Structure 1
Amino acid sequence: MSVTSAEQAAADPGAAMPRLDDLSRADVPFRTGHFWAYAPHDFHRIAYVEWGDPASPHVVVCVHGLSRQGRDFDPLGYRLAKMGYRVICPDLPGRGLSGWLKDPELYGLPQYAADMAALVAHLRIPGKIDWVGTSLGGLTGMVLAAAANTPIRRMVINDIGPFLPWAPIRHIGSRLRDAPRLHHNLASGESRLRIVLGAFGPLTDEQWRHIAKHSFFREPSGGWRPHYDPGIGDAFRPGRVYSVSMWRDWDAIACPVLLLRGALSELLLASTADEMTRRGPPTQRVEIADCGHAPALLDDAQLKIVTDWLGPAA
């Protein structure tokens, strides 16, 4: 299945949501929370945004990509909350409002999976959860879904797979390491994001403003710094980048999967996506036109793909 630009433009007007700037005052406003998670020799804060009825037993956890944070899922959180879900959008350690790890060497899938397992425990979720993961968030979900007694019952994976070629990983790492540590103003930061995140696909000015607003913190001494710890890029130093294979994890997953792929993605190769539908969990694949790595999940058509697949909370 594929989604074209024309289909995106013809999205259901009845599914329209408030402007992104108005979501904090919408009929299902979000709440914020945090807890303390453990890394070797240190506890660190994990922050999250929560949408919907906190008593709802139908829970979706949405986890962002490498240099992103949980507010990327504001439109999806709002939509799913309107459908009866409780939606949790955490910031992984070293991003957003979460704490930084003292040892940058710990930024990796084992720590992220442990922190997200601690999140599920912290929330006292009585049953199974659904998982939406973009890029790194999808890899984290794969690790957890492959584990025995996993709490994950369904999973949406956005433009990532169990094989990652080294060349685009190196490119992502270089872009991360070369990012300016400070911008004179927010407009400068947004201009850079429009370039480095151009593969997100065609976005409106409002959507770019939303991304930028949550991508930088204002420094008391002046300027705007990226929301993440530069140490998350240490794993991408020269000589440390190589192709990644997680087929063993993929083959161990049993829950249904919706696989989204940016049609221009260089990280999730078409051949990898093909293989993902032939082996491992039962997988439905959808190609998103005019996007690379990774579809932003901000426009109506992309949101509808996810909400239609999950269906109303029941």
Structure 2
Amino acid sequence: MAYKEWGDPHNRRVLVCVHGLTRVSDDFDRLAAELAPVYRVICPDVAGRGRSDPLPAPQHYQVPQYVSDMVTLLARADADTVHWVGTSMGGLIGMALASLPDTPVGRLVLNDVGPAISMQSLERIGSYVGQDLRFDSFEDGARHIREISAPFGPHSEQQWRKLAADVLRRDGQGKWMKHYDLRIAGAFRALTPETVRQAEEASWRAYDAIACPTLLLRGAESDLLLPQTAQAMTQRGPRARLVEFPGVGHAPTLLQDDQVAAVREFLLE
């Protein structure tokens, strides 16, 4: 598992930032640069994404495996306690880790994710995540990334280019393709209403076990974290503090000033 590291490698204040399903560690470049004077910031590429190796079998692409990987990463980093920022899937990993007895997580930021995930959003993400698309040029690939990432909300041309560059790479024939193992789509194909219900019940149990201060970020137009779920998260478990961003869906990219400020203020208070 590859990871990027920012700040003093001997700093005992450690911040771990974990990306969403098809994204990579580079998503946190802006946030990491902002917080590196205070933290040692570690941003991993979850297995099968970016520069990390794929897992040997598609059925291993599950949150319990990712949690195990993160425990190993923390041991390698010699980090006893950490603050955690997780976007979407990265938030689910953080939520599971923060729910464990003697958890190393001291503060938790959940970026547009909670114990209940809408079937509509799962179907939307599942419609493109496993497509083996190849593009003749970077510009063609960037247009595709911008199209499927429209819920991220308004961004500058430079920001859109970075969001595309972070997740596109060249294959052996010079074509541009997505920078992740397409087999991660297997988990979506296996979903049924019953498995989703069971996962939601387990996730709520994990959330209710979290005791550390928790910040919940939500895109006001998000189809993944519904308003009723976000409100419930403010009333149970760690009673998360909720911050919503207008004009943004799933998920805030943490590239914008107001989004970075909300995370910084919570982590450093």
Which TM-score tier does this pair reach, normalised by the shorter chain? over 0.9
| C-alpha displacement of 1:239 | 5.5
Query: What is the alpha-carbon distance in structure 2 between the residues aligned to residue 103 and residue 248 of structure 1?
Result: 28
Report the equivalent of 1:171. Answer: 124
What do you get for the CA RMSD once the two structures are aligned? 1.3
- Secondary structure class of the residue paired with 2:183: helix
From the CA coordinates, give the structure whose radius of gyration is larger. Answer: 1
Q: What whole-Å deviation, never above 9, does each CA across 1:217-255 have from its counterpart, x for those lacking one?
A: 112321111100000001111654635411100000000
Which is richer in strand? 1
Match for 2:152: what amino acid? F
Select 1:155's aligned residue among 84, 87, 108.
108
Q: Matched residues in 2 for 1:111 and 1:146: separation?
A: 15
In structure 2, list runs of 5 or more residues that go unmatched: none
Q: Distance between the aligned counterparts of 2:218 and 2:229, measured in 1?
A: 10
Residue 239 and residue 295 in structure 1: after superposition, are their counterparts in 2 closer, same or farther (change >3 A)?
closer
Residues 60, 129 of structure 1: 8 Å contact kept:
yes
Structure-1 separation of matches of 2:61 and 2:158: 32
Distance (whole Å) between structure 1 residues aligned to residue 96 and residue 25 of structure 2: 19
Match of 1:261 among 218, 235, 239: 218
Distance 1:81 1:261 in 2: 24
2:83 corresponding residue in structure 1: 130
Letter aligned with residue 231 of structure 1 = R
For residues 59 and 94 of structure 1, the distance between their equivalents in structure 2, rounded to whole angstroms, comes to 24
Stretches of 4+ moved more than 3 A in 1?
238-244
- CA distance in structure 1 between the aligned counterparts of 2:119 and 2:138, rounded to whole angstroms: 32
Paired residue for 2:183? 231
Number of positions where the alignment pairs a residue of Structure 1 with one of Structure 2: 264
Q: What SS does the corresponding residue of 2:55 show, helix, strand or coil?
A: coil
Distance 1:51 1:258, change over 3 A: same
Percent sequence identity is 46
Separation in 2 of the partners of 1:115 and 1:149?
17
Residue correspondence of structure 1 range 179-198 to structure 2 within 5 A: 179-198=131-150
Which of the numbers 2, 9, 14 marks the counterpart of 1:54? 9
Select the residue among 132, 146, 158 that pairs with 1:206: 158
Task: Indicate conservation of the 8 Å contact 2:82/2:107, yes or no.
Answer: yes
CA shift, 1:282, in A, is: 3.5
Aligned to 1:111: 65
Report the CA distance between 1:140 and its aligned residue.
Answer: 0.3
User: Quick one: distance in 1 between partners of 2:61 and 2:10?
Assistant: 32
2:235 paired residue number: 278
Give the secondary structure class of the aligned counterpart of 1:271: helix
Note if 1:78 corresponds to 2:33: yes
Q: Contact 1:174–1:236 at 8 Å: present in 2 too?
A: no
